[in-house]
Structure 1
Amino acid sequence: MPSPASLRQPRVGVSVGVWRGGEVLLVERSGDPSGGLWSFPGGHLEWGETLEDAARREVFEETGLRITLAGVPLVHEVILSGGDGSTFRHYVLIVFAAKAAANAEPVAASDALAARFVPPEQLAEFSLTPKLAEFIDRTRALVEG
């Protein structure tokens, strides 16, 4: 019988950089491991669900918004280690770029404490998840591209 450690596998998730004009959608996370930090909406891929469907579902669940996906998705790997160096979380995130309607207004729901569109010049006012600034730039290029 395999040991519990050998059964561990990375979790696959989606993350979506949603743009409305020149503003990007951020959600304040409520759960572990990023509670209190601002990030893109996103979450785990469900069994039998396509990546694109997961992206649309997560944005809708967390903000109530319908989106249009844009460009080729990006990949972001997150490996979290404890103080002893052992890995306790491993995610492979497929990061999508998307557009929201010009009049779209998010409403925080699901695991989001808050949701709002933010002009990039105000990002320094937010505590962001690691590498989010890079993916903000990269998704902006995809929707403008």
Structure 2
Amino acid sequence: MTDSRAYPPRPILAVSAAIVHDGRVLAVRRARKPAIALYTMPGGVVETGETLFEAAIREVREETALSIEPVALAGHREAIMRDKEGRVERHFVILCFAARLLGGEIRLNDELDDARWLAPHEFSGVKTTDGLTEIVMTAVDLIGHRR
């Protein structure tokens, strides 16, 4: 099976959700490459015909079984990985949304191997994807001001 995300002709659009609940944010640990063993936000690739909010809701449901309400864009990141020859092997543009938890119990799919509700200051104590703390702080600020 060929990996359609490897050596893409253009960047791939993805979304994630910083889910804020009772002052804490859900961090999930990736169980697969390329971000294996790193904590991040649940999310994934936007499918054709989906809005960004729809993609965030679907990805969170698929990865964690949680129901969320995206509120606002909390930031973006670019993940560019190069192979040994310097060619772009992967390139994702990830839009991360601040979101509220609507309900559900966490049930992780096989892409993840851990989930933790962390206070914003606790993110400095875990190994995360680049720029995650900034996204978390922005999300908490956005949700706190939009009750």
TM-score interval w.r.t. the shorter chain? 0.7 to 0.9
- In structure 2, the CA distance between the partners of 1:90 and 1:66, relative to structure 1 (3 Å rule), is same
1:71 is the counterpart of 2:72: yes
Rounded to whole Å, the distance in 2 between the matches of 1:141 and 1:80 is 30
Instruction: Indicate conservation of the 8 Å contact 1:107/1:115, yes or no.
Output: no
Query: Could you say which residue in structure 2 is the equivalent of 1:54?
Result: 55
Residues 19-57 of structure 1 deviation map (CA, whole Å, 9 limit, x = unaligned): 001100011101121011000001011122211111001
- In structure 2, the CA distance between the partners of 1:124 and 1:104, relative to structure 1 (3 Å rule), is farther
Rounded to whole Å, the distance in 1 between the matches of 2:50 and 2:121 is 35
Aligned residues: 139
Offset at residue 128 of structure 1 (A)? 0.5
Letter in 2 for 1:138: T
1:123 is the counterpart of 2:123: yes
| Gaps in structure 2 of 5+ consecutive residues | 1-6
Query: Could you say which residue in structure 2 is the equivalent of 1:114?
Result: 114
**Dislocated runs of 4+, deviation >3 Å:** 82-85
TM-score scaled to structure 1, two decimals? 0.85
1:10 is the counterpart of 2:20: no
TM-score scaled to structure 2, two decimals? 0.84
Identity %: 32
- Whose Rg is larger? 1
Rounded to whole Å, the distance in 1 between the matches of 2:118 and 2:45 is 24
